[in-house]
Structure 1
Amino acid sequence: MSTLTNKKILLGVSGGIAAYKSAILARRLIDEGATVRVVMTQGAQAFMQPLTFQALTGNPVHLDLLDPAAEAAMGHIELARWADAILIAPASANTLARLAHGMASDLLSTLCLATDAPIHVAPAMNRLMWSNPATIDNCAILSKRGVSFFGPGSGAQACGEVGSGRMLEPEEIRDQMIAAMNNEPSPTANNGPLAGKQLLITAGPTREAIDPVRYISNHSSGKMGFALAEAARLAGAMVTLVAGPVALQAHSDIKRIDVVSAEQMLKAVMSQVDKADVFISVAAVSDYRLTEVMDQKIKKNSTEMTLTLVRNPDILKSVADLPNRPFVVGFAAETENVEVHARGKLEKKALDMIAANHVGQADNPVFSSDTNALDVYWPADNGHEHIPSATKQSVAHSLLDIIGQQMSARKTT
């Protein structure tokens, strides 16, 4: 079994009641062979005494950016270079915001700017702070930069509320660090409704060739589908993303399958769907393709050109019709009568849920935008929930919360 023998871990402790768990975490990391040095923010010192960590680690605790004794030898640079990895647990909303925006106003944030070691964070905060669009956007920025997230978990919180935002238990974080530092698959970090689930997501447009030069397509950028894939990854799900031709990057933990045409997308989906617990069809699949694709470029020999088209396979319905299908979520991009058309598609294709948006509006371009708003419908009790306009990352987290709630509700009925 892999351990942390000879690994040098800089443990950052930020302000929050979960800081008490960090003392146990420090001990658990040392038990696995790591050398641990602790950096505490001013907020962390309101909850825990530095002497506790000094006694547990056998090393002095680092508190101040401008410590005259340490800075005589450029202490913060020395610390940044010493670490094999930086682990911030708990990582408060304030700390995540500082890291996301490159602030260097305290020792911990400065170390994170001055290091080339991998950075791991274990968020801990109230559920509303965790679901706030600002926090979601900050996490998306950090994730894109390669910062790893351990959790958060879900459950009862110190404030008395229940939801996502709890710091994982020290043993869970220890196991995550062991996996990360030994290049092993991460154990499941979350205990929410999507933790450990297999999600299959389609994203982007498809292209249907006319000839070697031209094709039929649409305006989809793929941003919503990619945002959902990343949000699902952060929620502890195992994600497979089938992507049409888009210029977007996905996290290395996401299994990505690139396709071009609708038929290629169908083939890729069907090769993966038997392993999926949830299928989310976000892709804007071309409804039609040419009956015959020209081998050579069509020349402009006339003022008009007639193309004969045939219907493409319906990927969403193909999955919904499977005898052992996953939880099936469709997307509907409508230009009018959004609810009528969305509920019609929900019923006609026998979906578990559909997320609809109003496209083609001058003030809400959707396809080319970084923001979105959704109306989500499901069959039980004529269910409906509105997700107001926000970044697509924020909307993705909100949609996954609704999916998780409905999956959990189905289990209890």
Structure 2
Amino acid sequence: MSGRRVVILGAGPGGVAAARRLRRRTSSGVEVVLVERPGGPLYLPGTIPTLLGEGPASRWRAPLALEGVEVVYGEARGVSGSGVRLEDEEIGADAVVAAPGLALDLEALPSSSRVFGFWDPEGAQRASEAIRDLEGGVVAVVISSLPYRCPPAPYGMAMQLANLYRGTSRPVRVVLTTPEEEPLQSLGQKMTDFLRSSCSAEGVEILTGFEPDLTSLGEGALRSADGRDLRFDLALVVPPHRRSPLLAHLPGDGPLVEISRSFETTEENLFVIGDAAATALPRTADGAAAAGRTAADAILERFGILDSPETHLPAPECFVGHGSGRYSHISLRYPDGLPPQGRARVTLEGPSTEIAPAFERAFENWRSLRS
């Protein structure tokens, strides 16, 4: 078949992986259109360096120039299996791969000069001045709810903050709260023990099973559902992650959209990948990329172009900062298949200053995939 068009919404890891997978088949008459918000994609792991004042949020942007892919910048107003609606045009399609991510519910947080809700570099930049100006007291790193993207990152943020304040001899206590009964318990005891011991080494206190009443933040005290009370001088909040309004019409629990094994939704020809897809995997970049390739193969098979789709297992890699230029490297593999049948095999390296260059290389690789 020829004259087919696939529209991809979002230039995150999943969207770019799907576009690159489909691009290889352009000789078969598949037109690939990638829709991205004005300004271009942001590298989300740049959130913590931006918070620490190591560079502006703009450093973590990259232009899009994918050979064989038409890039359209605009705000999507609607999405279906037959196309994407923008403010001033409709882009029709034979299939759509939607990767809008999860929305940050900043309205769930009270307005306060001591409370900053963010989980991207631009939000982190707004909080960076308050980080620098704090002379002492308690900093609360608050994981407001599950799921959220980049699960180990709040722990790295707390450790780097504690290290920063200790290095400037400011009397700051860093406390991290999480609704989980154990840190990243879904990834097993090895990960839990690693995060607990690492945070303890940096002087970070972890409060588990802490389901926060976010309205209490405006009073300078964070209360949990079980009655615990944490007084703070500065709160850095990973906001609740909500479903993108573009996907509100699709079935699924909470922020996540119900999908098939090929990531197709109940609406024919509409595939949802990335953070919004209801899988048992953590919200990671490589998990999204594997989903993008899987959805692309399913579309190509439907078009009669691909006979036997490959199995695309995610291989997530993550870097967690400890402060003073030290990083740990976390890798997950699924040799026995995906959850719930298979469990992640976790490999941990570090912390070490020798791992730091790998964090920068990961960013350069992210940029190269978009050009």
Q: What is the TM-score of this pair, normalised by structure 2?
A: 0.30
Larger Rg: 1
Higher relative contact order (CA 8 A, sep 6+): 2
